[in-house]
């Protein structure tokens, strides 16, 4: 369609493409941007084409000079110097919309706007909340005088500083590391520090049936007396760490004296020149390197009382303790230790008064040590003492002819050794497990009534855990240590049952103390009530007689109250005793019932005395 003559004159002559420029074959509106860019790239032709007439769609009466000279407000990141002439050619409304669009989608401006508005809204809401709180708190003081504006600003600043300090402290010392943030009075009860340490289920299902005497381990150990604690140290079970706890981390009236640079410590009884602990770090390897049960039971009494006359020797008790470990982990740890050059050649292996011969106990290596041996060679040696080491060191070897394998068949020998190790372990004063450090600490403290200074630490990453083995090798290690596997299963079951029994006993004692406190408070209440009543009667005898013509009514009422209280307490005690007796042995039932009846009689006697 042809343009009118006036429109053609207003637009002026059309722009001619320069030499080398593409020809315009389509709509002029669609190619206006291309022409402007070409004009901007060639300054000579830009002035002629731009100043030939006003922009497209603008009449001659429009002030195009003002449009071109107006400063651009576009963002520098989006509109460069080359696009400035093109932007100036747009109409004013379109330029305003493009500026608004740029400002709206500019990320920095958007974030600043959101942050500003959010802070403003937060401050506004905080102001209203604080004003409401202050009005509730300082409402009664409104009659004295309202707080001026400066005091309000100062109080608001203090509150904001306190909140900021709390946030900073949460980042600086998170968790339980910052003692300032552990408000125990307003927090929930702390979790049980003796929860499952091996990442297993917290609920334990026992496999073996043990009597109450097997579970209750309470040793009457008097450090001022003559009894002695003997530590049986099995290789690679964490015994070194536990031995250091005994000499360095235990609360004593006279602590052990440990000098720098010396492994042994002096652990004397208070006021005596006599030791109370027989272990590596107190007396050294007095019975040989890593002496077993057979060696210790025959050696310790002779070492401790050997220099005394038989008639002057005290009748002392020897309390044996030890630490066990998972057989596979212990076996791998011993292999790594042997790889580094350990031999334990100084071990005596004395049994029945003599050490074993070379035929009874052959060596697995020919050189000075077995350093650098691979795991397969370590497992292939049939005379390796690492196999079933825990059973061998805890059993009585005199029952099977010591190290002479020809005394009885192998199957019978293994059975006797396993039963002997289980019996000795069960009758020991205490034993712990490397995989349960906190429970080991708890049971030792409850058994010997001795407390440690700092808690034990559970190390789940060891040299044995760094060894990567496949399933076949693990099964072979379990077959080589099948007696230790059976002993450890038995020991773990007994250990966890003892722990549960001691915890339940502790909870029962705490419940009994709370009941005694409630009884005492009830008695105090009755005492104060009777005293106040007697004082009021002594002060106003005439008024009491007029109000109460029967003076024995108060006395009968008091007696009824006492009878009701005593009956209720006796019924509650009998019900609790019946529930507890269903879970305990018959011998324990009689003790509990007698204690419950004695507690009831004491309560009745105390009430009668106060009355």
Q: How many CA atoms lie within 13 A of 468 on its CB side?
A: 0
- Which residues does residue 319 pair with via DSSP β-bridges, in sequence order? 229
Residues annotated as catalytic (active site), given as ranges: 290
Helices and strands in the chain: count of H runs, count of E runs: 21, 6
Is residue 5 within 8 A of residue 12, CB to CB? The reply is no
With left for phi above 0 and alpha for psi between -120 and 50, is residue 470 left, alpha or beta?
beta
- The label of the residue with tokens 């508005």 reads 117
Residue 350 CA to its chain's centroid (Å): 44
Q: Going by DSSP bridges, is the β-strand pair 257-258/265-266 parallel, antiparallel, or unpaired?
A: antiparallel
Positive or negative CA dihedral for 578, 584, 589, 593? negative
Report the alpha-carbon distance of residue 462 to residue 564 in Å, rounded: 64
Is residue 470 within 8 A of residue 453, CB to CB? The reply is no
Closest by Cα among 551, 520, 521, 518 to 533: 551
- The label of the residue with tokens 């609920």 reads 203
Closest by Cα among 76, 133, 124, 73 to 100: 73
Q: How many CA atoms lie within 13 A of 464 on its CB side?
A: 22
Q: Going by DSSP bridges, is the β-strand pair 430-433/277-278 parallel, antiparallel, or unpaired?
A: unpaired
Extended beta strands in 384-504, E state:
430-433
Q: How many CA atoms lie within 13 A of 359 on its CB side?
A: 3
Closest by Cα among 464, 530, 168, 188 to 328: 464
Token pair listed for 379: 């497992």
Closest by Cα among 32, 34, 22 to 55: 32
Q: How far apart are the first and last CA of the chain?
A: 123
Report the alpha-carbon distance of residue 506 to residue 512 in Å, rounded: 10
């Amino acid at each position: 369609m042809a343009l009118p003559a006036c429109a053609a004159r207003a637009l002026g002559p059309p722009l001619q493409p320069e030499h080398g420029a593409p020809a315009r074959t389509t709509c002029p509106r669609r190619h206006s941007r291309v022409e402007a860019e070409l004009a901007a790239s060639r300054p000579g032709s830009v002035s002629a084409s731009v100043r030939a007439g006003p922009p497209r769609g603008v009449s001659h009466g429009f002030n195009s000079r003002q449009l071109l000279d107006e400063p651009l407000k576009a963002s520098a990141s989006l509109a460069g110097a080359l696009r400035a002439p093109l932007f100036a050619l747009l109409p004013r409304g379109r330029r305003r919309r493009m500026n608004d669009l740029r400002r709206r989608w500019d990320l920095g401006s958007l974030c600043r706007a959101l942050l500003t508005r959010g802070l403003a809204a937060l401050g506004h809401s905080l102001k209203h909340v604080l004003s409401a709180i202050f009005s509730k708190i300082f409402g009664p003081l409104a009659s004295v005088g309202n707080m001026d504006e400066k005091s309000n600003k100062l109080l608001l600043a203090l509150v904001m500083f306190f909140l900021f300090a709390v946030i900073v402290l949460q980042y600086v010392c998170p968790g339980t590391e910052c003692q300032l943030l552990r408000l125990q009075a307003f927090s929930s009860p702390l979790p049980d520090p003796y929860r499952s340490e091996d990442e297993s289920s917290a609920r334990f299902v026992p496999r073996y049936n043990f009597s109450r005497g097997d579970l209750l381990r309470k040793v009457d150990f008097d450090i001022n007396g003559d009894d002695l604690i003997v530590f049986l140290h099995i290789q690679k079970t964490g015994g070194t760490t536990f031995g250091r706890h005994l000499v360095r981390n235990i609360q004593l009236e006279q602590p052990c004296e440990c000098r720098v640079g010396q492994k042994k410590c002096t652990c004397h009884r208070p006021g005596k020149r006599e030791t109370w602990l027989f272990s590596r770090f107190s007396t050294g390897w007095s019975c040989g390197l890593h002496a077993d049960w057979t060696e210790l039971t025959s050696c310790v009494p002779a070492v401790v009382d050997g220099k005394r006359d038989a008639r002057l020797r005290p009748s002392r008790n020897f309390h044996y303790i030890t630490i066990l470990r998972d057989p596979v982990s212990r076996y791998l740890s011993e292999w790594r230790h042997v790889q580094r050059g350990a031999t334990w050649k100084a071990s005596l292996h004395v049994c029945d008064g003599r050490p074993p011969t070379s035929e009874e106990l052959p060596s697995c290596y020919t050189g000075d040590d077995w350093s650098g041996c691979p795991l397969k060679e370590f497992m292939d040696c049939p005379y390796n003492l690492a196999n079933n080491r825990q059973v061998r060191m805890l059993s009585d070897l005199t029952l099977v002819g010591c190290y002479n394998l020809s005394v009885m068949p192998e199957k019978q020998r293994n059975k006797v050794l396993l039963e002997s190790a289980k019996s000795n372990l069960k009758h020991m004063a205490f034993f712990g497990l490397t995989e349960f450090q906190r429970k080991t600490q708890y049971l030792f403290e409850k058994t010997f009534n001795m407390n440690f200074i700092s808690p034990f630490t559970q190390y789940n990453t060891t040299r044995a855990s760094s060894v990567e083995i496949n399933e076949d090798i693990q099964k072979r290690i379990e077959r080589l240590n099948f007696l230790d596997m059976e002993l450890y299963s038995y020991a773990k079951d007994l250990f966890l049952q003892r722990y549960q029994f001691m915890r339940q006993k502790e909870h029962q004692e705490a419940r009994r103390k709370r009941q005694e406190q409630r009884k005492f408070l009830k008695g105090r209440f009755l005492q104060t009530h009777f005293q106040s009543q007697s004082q009021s009667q002594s002060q106003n005898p005439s008024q009491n007689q007029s109000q109460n013509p029967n003076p024995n009514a108060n006395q009968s009422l008091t007696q009824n109250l006492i009878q009701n209280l005593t009956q209720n307490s006796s019924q509650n005690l009998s019900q609790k005793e019946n529930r507890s007796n269903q879970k305990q042995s018959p011998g324990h039932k009689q003790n509990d019932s007698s204690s419950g009846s004695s507690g009831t009689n004491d309560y009745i006697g105390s009430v009668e005395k106060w009355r």
